[in-house]
Structure 1
């Protein structure tokens, strides 16, 4: 079973990664899907998207949930029925999700890219993004970020930093989930260094400025980003 790893981001936030080595049929047979999920799966033309979708359900099952515990609101944002988590799993695996006095208020965010799917579960509102490192991200960097952030870096680090910044913007967008937000025009990353693993960003939208704290990690040849509102 290719549960890959977990990352403890803070005391009440954990990200879980599934490395997708199975084919679609094997994944489909291993999960139980509600009717709405079956309908979504059947509408996916890409096998990669199908596998990413099913691997998310594999992660849920690994953590003691099922597809029935995951719902989406009208804007497409996921919500988790934390109270439905398996008591058996809680007793046998107490460490991944702990320190929480009110278990029905967990937040969930989801991302998948190529060979990996990821879910993040937290007491705090957050958004995540998982992106594979690729040259295309660096080529289109001027479209979504200030290229001054890439100055004086070797190409490999430019690619990593551009991917982090894309993940920052994508993660903040998932938190806000509002139409009209533009990556280059409304979300601004503050200067940071890759070894820090942390940075900050701001959303300037609808005459307000909102601040966010960011954690980022390199997972194999992927960049994982998690954003939190900095209240």
Structure 2
């Protein structure tokens, strides 16, 4: 399967989705992996996480249009970074899709989630009362997924642990239209960062994506 969806944010930034229709072996054959990465793949077993790991790396290779080895590591906070290519990156995956966002100039964050009713049961765990108050009845489930994806994208873009979706990331009200921009504010101790986060509904999935302008 080739790229299913691709969106350019600016001259230096884009994200893409890959629909996972290949077997693990098919994906594995498209990659160059060092010994440590091969161990990671082996430890993932044969479940969906295995396919997700492989498909994000295949998508990254396609987006970078390179046949070279891509040295992709993870820092102490769990954020992926590239050693031998001048891009900031972010990965996400959900069920049958993998998502990758890259930028030469900006820190980035992306999240993709399949839209399901169950999000309503856990909304109070990641949203404040004032945020729940602006959720509409008509698009309740979709808007809750927008909020989750946006907070996850901000979390990944910021790239450090110990950030609470409930306590540290606050969203401003928005009107759901299938795609748009939501203002988000990261507040933690002396840290104050404001973001404008994009969201996009794609089939029965929701995507949140963000760049940090001052990176």
Q: Normalising TM by the smaller chain, what interval?
A: 0.7 to 0.9
**Greater alpha carbon shift after TM alignment, 216-225 vs 142-151:** 142-151
CA offsets per residue over residues 49-98 of structure 1, 9 Å max, x none?
A: 11011111211232323553322223221122564xxxxxxxxxxxxxxx
- Hey, what does 2:30 align to over in structure 1? 30
- Hey, what does 2:106 align to over in structure 1? 124
For the Cα contact (< 8 Å) 1:57–1:67, is it kept in 2? no
Distance 2:15 2:110 in 1: 9
Q: Tell me, which stretches of 5 or more residues in structure 2 are unaligned?
A: none
- Hey, what does 1:90 align to over in structure 2? none
Q: CA deviation at 1:170?
A: 0.9
The answer to whether 1:176 aligns with 2:161 is no
Q: CA deviation at 1:176?
A: 2.2
SS at match of 1:141: helix
SS at match of 2:174: coil
The answer to whether 1:194 aligns with 2:176 is yes
- Hey, what does 1:114 align to over in structure 2? 95
- Hey, what does 1:51 align to over in structure 2? 51
With over 3 angstroms needed to count, the CA separation of the structure-2 counterparts of 1:61 and 1:229, relative to structure 1, is closer
> Larger helix proportion, structure 1 or 2?
1
- Hey, what does 1:135 align to over in structure 2? 117
For the Cα contact (< 8 Å) 1:2–1:21, is it kept in 2? no
- Hey, what does 1:159 align to over in structure 2? 141
SS at match of 2:134: helix
Distance 2:132 2:45 in 1: 35
SS at match of 2:133: helix
Q: CA deviation at 1:24?
A: 1.7
> Larger strand proportion, structure 1 or 2?
2
Distance 1:120 1:200 in 2: 19
For the Cα contact (< 8 Å) 1:187–1:203, is it kept in 2? yes
Corresponding residue pairs, total? 207
Distance 1:212 1:185 in 2: 16
Q: CA deviation at 1:35?
A: 1.7
Q: Tell me, which stretches of 5 or more residues in structure 1 are unaligned?
A: 84-103
- Cα RMSD of the aligned pairs, angstroms, is 1.9
Distance 2:13 2:55 in 1: 20
**Greater alpha carbon shift after TM alignment, 186-195 vs 44-53:** 44-53
For the Cα contact (< 8 Å) 2:61–2:70, is it kept in 1? no
